[in-house]
Amino acid sequence: MKVFIAWNIVPEDPRYWKYFEPHGIMISFSSSKYRNIRKKLESIFTMGIHEWLEYKGFIIMDSQIAPISVSAEYAHALHPRNKFLHIYYLQRYARPNKIVHKDYPLVRSDVPEDLKWKLLRKTVKNAELLRKFLEKKGVNDKEVIYVIQGWDKKSLEWCCKQYVNMGIRNYAIGSMKHLSFRNKDEIIHRIEFVREIIGKRAKLHVLGVANTKLLPILKKYVDTLDTSSPIRAAMFNEIYYIDDKSNRLRRTKITNISEDDVKHYLPAKLYAMFVNICENIENLKKSIIKRKLAIINAYTLTRYVSLL
């Protein structure tokens, strides 16, 4: 199993790969509501996301994209007849390794049943239309990850079987983030259930895992997952560290641990960064300190998952 670190374009997250080699990153354009995104996007479309980031590793690009306005050169990609094509063209201009098809997350429990089914059918219809579009263009869809949505066994089963009948082999399961801490058992049950339907050979990615305590269990069922927890923890002045006695990943306030707790696994550059944070503990509110903490968290999480 590999963990992909969620990475925002605006405001720009730390460039983790300058300090260690991540398994990969998950990029979202959801921050495109910011006014200063336009120039960045045009540079990304021209250069490609890898060159723009100076990162040679694996990149997945999410489909949760807000409305974007760019120059006339790319305008034909912004207003096609179908929204799923709008998003597909934007993703392809960036040239990541894989893209996530346009889905409709089901994260609120108070949504009426009929509306849930409407959104689920739209998610599946987008997958069907995208596959037909790519087939017509003579393009293999192996670069596309199709998102499974659902809120109970009936809806999950229906969605999975629709995809299996289409011959899809690359899957992601969404709407997990809101369950991460409230209902851990439900997450495991859903993933077990989905894996049983799509088969052992299919690739399965989990979108937005916040609870790292689930990682040892998820390893049995999934190939990859993504999380924004390293930088979210840093925002609360919290650090991930690997307990040298239990080899478990733990999370606590930075003020609760010492250099001895991390020196057995942090490489020299990141250990020096940790020492610097401790020496400037009174400046924890400063962005530069939180960014350093996020880098250490991302490294520790990646190392932990690699050792599972």
Please indicate, yes or no, whether residues 279 and 256 belong to a single structural domain of this protein: yes
> Over 70: is that where the pLDDT of 280 sits?
yes
Residue 302 lies in a domain: yes
> Over 70: is that where the pLDDT of 81 sits?
no
- The pLDDT value recorded for residue 126 is 92
Distance CA 63, CA 28 (A): 7
Distance CA 23, CA 157 (A): 30
Residue 36 lies in a domain: yes
Q: The domain that contains 124 carries what CATH number?
A: 3.20.20.70
> Over 80: is that where the pLDDT of 284 sits?
no
Please indicate, yes or no, whether residues 119 and 164 belong to a single structural domain of this protein: yes
Domain that holds residue 176: 113-227
- The pLDDT value recorded for residue 65 is 59
Residue 233 lies in a domain: no
Please indicate, yes or no, whether residues 164 and 84 belong to a single structural domain of this protein: no
Please indicate, yes or no, whether residues 68 and 150 belong to a single structural domain of this protein: no
- The pLDDT value recorded for residue 36 is 65
pLDDT category at 181 given cuts 50, 70, 90 is low
User: Of 227, 253, 273, which residue is a domain's last?
Assistant: 227
Residue 216 preceded by cis peptide, ω within 30 = no
Please indicate, yes or no, whether residues 207 and 123 belong to a single structural domain of this protein: yes
- The pLDDT value recorded for residue 209 is 81
- The pLDDT value recorded for residue 295 is 97
pLDDT category at 79 given cuts 50, 70, 90 is very low
pLDDT, mean of residues 275-284: 86
Q: For residue range 207-265, what is the model confidence (pLDDT) as tens digits?
A: 988 788 889 999 999 999 999 999 999 999 999 999 888 889 999 999 999 999 999 99
Q: For residue range 16-47, what is the model confidence (pLDDT) as tens digits?
A: 999 999 999 999 876 555 566 777 888 888 99
User: Of 43, 78, 100, which residue is a domain's last?
Assistant: 100
Neighbouring C-beta atoms of residue 62, cutoff 10 Å:
24
User: Of 65, 100, 135, which residue is a domain's last?
Assistant: 100
pLDDT, mean of residues 93-102: 93
Distance CA 262, CA 269 (A): 12
Residue 43 lies in a domain: yes
Please indicate, yes or no, whether residues 78 and 147 belong to a single structural domain of this protein: no
Q: Which residues pair with 28 in a beta bridge?
A: 8
Distance CA 105, CA 150 (A): 9
Please indicate, yes or no, whether residues 88 and 124 belong to a single structural domain of this protein: no
Please indicate, yes or no, whether residues 21 and 95 belong to a single structural domain of this protein: yes
Please indicate, yes or no, whether residues 95 and 129 belong to a single structural domain of this protein: no
Please indicate, yes or no, whether residues 211 and 130 belong to a single structural domain of this protein: yes
pLDDT, mean of residues 276-298: 90
Please indicate, yes or no, whether residues 215 and 173 belong to a single structural domain of this protein: yes
Do the strands 249-253 and 238-242 form a parallel or antiparallel pair, or are they unpaired? antiparallel
Residue 161 lies in a domain: yes
8 — phi, psi (to 5°)?
-95, 140
DSSP notation for 147-177: EE--SSHHHHHHHHHHHHHHT--EEEE-S-G
- The pLDDT value recorded for residue 72 is 42
Based on the structure, what is the number of domains in the chain? Answer: 3
Nearest to 239 by CA among 192, 273, 269: 273
Residue 105 lies in a domain: no
Q: For residue range 182-212, what is the model confidence (pLDDT) as tens digits?
A: 678 888 999 999 999 999 999 999 998 878 8
Distance CA 161, CA 130 (A): 17
Neighbouring C-beta atoms of residue 305, cutoff 10 Å:
21
Please indicate, yes or no, whether residues 94 and 117 belong to a single structural domain of this protein: no
First to last CA, the chain: 8
Secondary structure of residue 183 in the 3-state scheme: coil
- The pLDDT value recorded for residue 34 is 54
